[in-house]
């Protein structure tokens, strides 16, 4: 599956992408560079490799928790806007080690924000999460839904959103907070990989490739049609386009909060069935108890960003998302 780039318009800025060696940050960087954007990437490589940095990007190995170093970087590169992806993202791990998530995701982001203020950089696109909602009262979830995280990961992101409200109010920081759901799929040369792997679609595809014997389903007694968790899956290229639209929209708007998703939910069992169709493999499953902190259903309403910025997912089908990931994974291990 070849995914095309869509023109998003707007003025080219001198941008810094934190976490730009990772899956999502690296995809956004690559899309921006293909449109002629000059991109600077800062990553501490704790969950990424130097080889994953898009070719042609200005790479700085560093940590956003180092406020003075970040301030110097912002000044030296004459950065005009920051797209902030650097974070720990495992909800399950956050239930075991919450202190890691508040340190890395919240405190380190505060250091970055302080560096931005000191360097006079006042545009931020923040990679938030649907985990800020917790167990929603209704679905699909809208941006004005109650914010009740059920795990420290979601709480660590919500604390950043709360800081941004005040930095906007007091210092005039312009920001877009993008709350997204399950990002998946692949683009040419880049797909989803974690060490150790914990995300559903790569785990399933590992079974199809013979790298694992089965995939584990955590919980089959949720209040959902088939008893397994329901999630909203969004193609990583669609997500990248939304970030670029939000960045350009900061020229006219000073504060934005958007959900990013398909507006459709798929259960764990449905994802497994999709992978069976796409790969032609049986993909055995193993049932396990629920994981603490996992909401039963998370499905987004993206009507607001569609209405205000004209964004809509170009690759909403679950099979096409899985197919793009499958193509990349097969090449990865060829």
Tell me the per-residue pLDDT of 171-216, one tens digit each, with 9 for 90 and over. Answer: 999 999 999 989 999 998 899 987 777 899 999 999 999 999 999 9
Kindly report the average pLDDT of the chain as a whole number: 94
The dihedral formed by the CA atoms of 81, 86, 89 and 94, expressed in degrees to the nearest 10: -120
Of 1-5, 15-19, 85-89, 165-169, least confident by mean pLDDT is 1-5
Please identify every residue annotated as catalytic: 153
| 15-183+233-261 topology per CATH | Rossmann fold (3.40.50)
Average confidence (pLDDT) over 97-122: 98
Q: At residue 4, does pLDDT exceed 50?
A: no
Q: At residue 93, does pLDDT exceed 90?
A: yes
- CB environment 93-117: b (16+ within 10 A), e (fewer): bbbeeeebbbebbbebbbbbbebbb
- Each residue's pLDDT tens digit, 226-268: 999 999 999 999 999 999 999 999 999 999 999 999 989 999 9
Q: At residue 3, does pLDDT exceed 70?
A: no
- Each residue's pLDDT tens digit, 7-38: 445 678 899 999 999 999 999 999 999 988 99
Cα 251 to Cα 11: distance, rounded to the nearest angstrom: 9
Q: At residue 1, does pLDDT exceed 50?
A: no
Average confidence (pLDDT) over 304-314: 97
Total-model pTM: 0.93
């Amino acid at each position: 599956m070849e995914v095309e780039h869509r023109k998003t318009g707007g003025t080219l800025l001198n941008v810094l992408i934190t976490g730009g060696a990772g899956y999502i940050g690296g995809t956004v960087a690559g899309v921006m560079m293909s449109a002629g954007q000059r991109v600077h990437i800062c990553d501490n490589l704790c969950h990424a490799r130097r080889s994953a940095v898009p070719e042609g990007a200005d790479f700085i190995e560093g940590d956003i928790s180092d406020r003075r170093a970040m301030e110097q970087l912002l000044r030296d590169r004459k950065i005009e806007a920051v797209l902030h992806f650097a974070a720990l993202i495992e909800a399950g791990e956050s239930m075991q080690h919450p202190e890691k998530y508040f340190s890395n995701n919240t405190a380190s982001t505060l250091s970055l924000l302080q560096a931005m203020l000191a360097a006079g950089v006042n545009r931020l696109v923040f990679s938030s999460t649907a985990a800020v909602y917790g167990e929603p009262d209704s679905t699909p979830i809208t941006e004005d839904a109650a914010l009740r995280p059920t795990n420290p990961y979601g709480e660590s992101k919500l604390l950043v959103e709360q800081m941004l409200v005040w930095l906007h109010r007091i210092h005039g920081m312009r920001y877009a907070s993008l709350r997204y759901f399950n990002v998946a799929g692949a683009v040419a040369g880049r797909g989803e990989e974690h060490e150790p792997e914990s995300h559903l679609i790569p785990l399933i595809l590992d079974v199809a490739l013979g790298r694992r014997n089965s995939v584990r389903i955590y919980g089959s007694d949720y209040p959902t049609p088939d008893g397994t968790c329901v999630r909203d899956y969004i193609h990583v290229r669609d997500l990248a386009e939304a970030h670029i639209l939000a960045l350009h929209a900061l020229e006219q708007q000073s504060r934005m909060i958007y959900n990013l998703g398909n507006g459709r939910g798929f259960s764990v069992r449905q994802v497994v069935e999709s992978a069976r169709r796409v790969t032609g493999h049986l993909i055995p499953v193993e049932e396990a108890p629920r994981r603490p902190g996992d909401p039963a259903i998370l499905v987004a309403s993206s009507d607001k960003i569609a209405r205000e910025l004209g964004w809509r997912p170009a690759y909403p089908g679950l099979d096409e998302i899985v197919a793009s990931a499958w193509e990349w994974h097969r090449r990865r291990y060829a």
